[in-house]
Amino acid sequence: MLKVRQIGLAAVAAMAVTLTGCGSSAPQKTADLAAEPEYSGTLSILTKFGGEPLESYFSDLAAEYTAMHPDVKFELIQETDQSIKDKTKTLTASQALPDIYFTWAGDWAANFVEAGLAADLTPVIEPGTEWGDTFGEASLSAFQYDGKYYAVPLYNNGKFMGYNEKIFAEVGIQPPTSFDELISACGTIRDAGYEPVAFGNKDGWPALHYLQQLFAYNVPQDTLQADFDPETATWDDEGYVKSLEQFSTLVEECTGSGADSNGVLYTTAQQALAEGRAAMYYQEILEFDTSAAEGTPLSKDGFGIFPLPVPAGAEGDPGAIEGSPEGYIINARSERAALAADFMKFVTESENASTLSAPPYGQPSAVVGAVTADSSSPGVVNGIEMVNDASSTVIWLDSVTVPDVADAWLAGGEALISGDSTPEDILSSVQAASEASK
C-alpha cells in the first residue's frame, strides 16, 4: 500500500488561521499596499535561494536597499528547493510567516490565498498598472485567483532534457524526436561507456516531473485539467497508465541507478552531467547555468537542450511544456506590507531582473525583456523561447494538485521506481486520495 507521508499545506494553513483567532476578538490587520512605505524596521523574507550560487542574489539586493534606506534591515531565511517545503509549513503552523515568502503556482499558492495569508496585490500589480505592465500577463495570471492577483512572479521556468553535445557527436546521434528514439539512443550511449540519463529521486519530485510531462502528452488537456481539481477528478484516463509504463521503461533502460534511483540526490545526477559522465539529465531552466557553469567539462563539451520527446500515439498536447512561474507572496498580516511591496518593486527593476537572468544565477526573470542573448546564457534564452512558443504549459504535479493527491503521486513514483507497485495500483491509490479530498 502507498503511504501518504506529509501533512498537507492546506491543513497547516487552516490551522494557522484558526489559531490566529484564538483568545482575541479584535479583527485581523490586513495589508495596506496603498500606504506610503515607512523606511524603517526589519523586513523578513523566506527565499528559495539557499546555497550557492543563488544565495548572494537576495543578500546583495538587501544590502543595496539598506544603502538607499539605512533604517531598513533584513532577516533573510534562505532555503533550498527541498527544504523550503517543510520550512514553509513550520512557519505557517507557528503563525510566523515572514513579510515576504516564496510560492509555487497552483494549489500551493491557492492554500495561502484561501487562508487569508496572501495580500491582494491587484491594485499595484494587475495588468494595466505601472508595475504590472513590466511582467508578461501569463506570468501574472499564474497567481490569479477569482480575478485577483496574489504574488509577484520572479522568474519563469520549464523542464527540458539537457545533453552533452560532444558525447552526442562522439556516438553519432542527434537529439531524439520521439520517445522510442530516446530509449534507443540510451543503448548506444551506454555502449560507449557513458551513463545515458543521470537521475536521482531521493527527494521524490524528480520522478513527478517526468510523469507530468508524459501526462501532458498522453492525456487530453481538458481531462488533465479536470483531474487537478478533486471536485471534477476521476484520474481514470488510460494515458496515465501509459505514462507510468513509459517512465518505468526510461528508468530501466536509460538510468545508471535504475531501481536504486530513490537513494540518489538530484544534485548528484546534475553533477554527473556537468562532469561529462552522463550524456543527459532532465532539468529545469533554473539549473542550466549550474550544470554548465564556467569551468565544468560540460561547458567545454557544449550544452544543448530538447523537450522530452513525445511518445507515439499520444492523445494529449504534443506541444505542451511542463513548467510555470515561481514567485513571492506578501503576507496579508504584515505590518510592513507597503515596504515589502516597495522592496519587491526594487527586486524586479530592469537591471536587477537582468542580473537574475544572467550567469551565475540563470533564473529567467518574468520581467519583460530581461532575458536576452546579451545578458543570459544560450541555454536559458533557448529554453524561455521554447516555453513562450509552447502550445500550453502544465504546472508541476506536486504543486498543482491538492496535498493528499500530490503525496499519493510522490509515493507512487517512488514505488514504481523500486518495483513495489504496478501502474494500476498507483493510479488506484491516487484515485482514493482524490476522492478523500472532496
Give pLDDT tens digits for 396-415.
999 999 999 999 999 999 99
Determine the residue type at 77: I
Percent of the chain topping pLDDT 90: 90
Joined grid coordinates for residue 180: 522510442
Chain mean pLDDT for the chain: 92
Residue 365 DSSP label: B
Query: Could you read off the pLDDT of 198-250 as tens digits, one per residue?
Result: 999 999 999 999 999 999 999 999 999 999 999 999 999 999 999 999 999 99
Surface-to-core class of residue 416, CB atoms within 10 Å of its CB (0-12 exposed, 13-18 middle, 19+ buried): buried
Q: How far is Cα 210 from Cα 218, in angstroms, rounded to an integer?
A: 12
What pLDDT was estimated at residue 305? 98
Statement: residue 130 has pLDDT above 70: yes
In this predicted structure, the answer to whether residue 22 has a pLDDT above a threshold of 80 is no
pTM above 0.85, yes or no: yes
pLDDT for residue 4 is more than 90: no
| Residues whose CB is less than 8 angstroms from the CB of residue 191 and which lie 6 or more positions away in sequence, other chains included | 171
> In the chain, which segments carry CATH 3.40.190.10?
31-157+324-370, 159-322+397-436
Over range 89-98, report the average pLDDT.
95
Q: Give 15 or 392, the one with higher predicted confidence.
A: 392
Closest to 160 in 3D by CA, of 292, 335, 355, 8: 292
CATH number of 31-157+324-370: 3.40.190.10
Mean pLDDT, rounded, for 24-34: 54
Confidence of residue 62 (pLDDT cuts 50, 70, 90): very high
Task: Enter the DSSP assignment of 163.
Answer: E
Q: Is the model's pLDDT at 126 over the cut of 60?
A: yes
Mean pLDDT over residues 264-270, rounded? 96
Q: Is the pLDDT of residue 23 over 60?
A: no
Pairing mode of beta strands 72-78, 41-47: parallel
List all residues 6 or more positions away from 157 whose beta carbon is below 8 Å from its beta carbon: 284, 285, 286, 323, 324, 325, 326, 364, 387
CATH architecture of 159-322+397-436: 3-Layer(aba) Sandwich (3.40)
Mean per-residue pLDDT, 185-194: 98
- Please compute the mean of the pLDDT values over residues 345-358 and round it to a whole number: 97
What is the mean pLDDT of the segment spanning 127-149? Answer: 94
pLDDT band at 81 (very low <50, low <70, confident <90, very high): confident
CB atoms inside a 10 Å sphere around CB 115:
20
Q: What is the pLDDT of residue 28?
A: 45
Q: Over the range 389-408, which residues count as b (16 or more CB within 10 Å of their CB) and which as e?
A: ebeebbbbbbbbbbbbbbbb
pLDDT recorded at residue 286: 94
Beta-bridged to residue 46, according to DSSP, are 77, 101
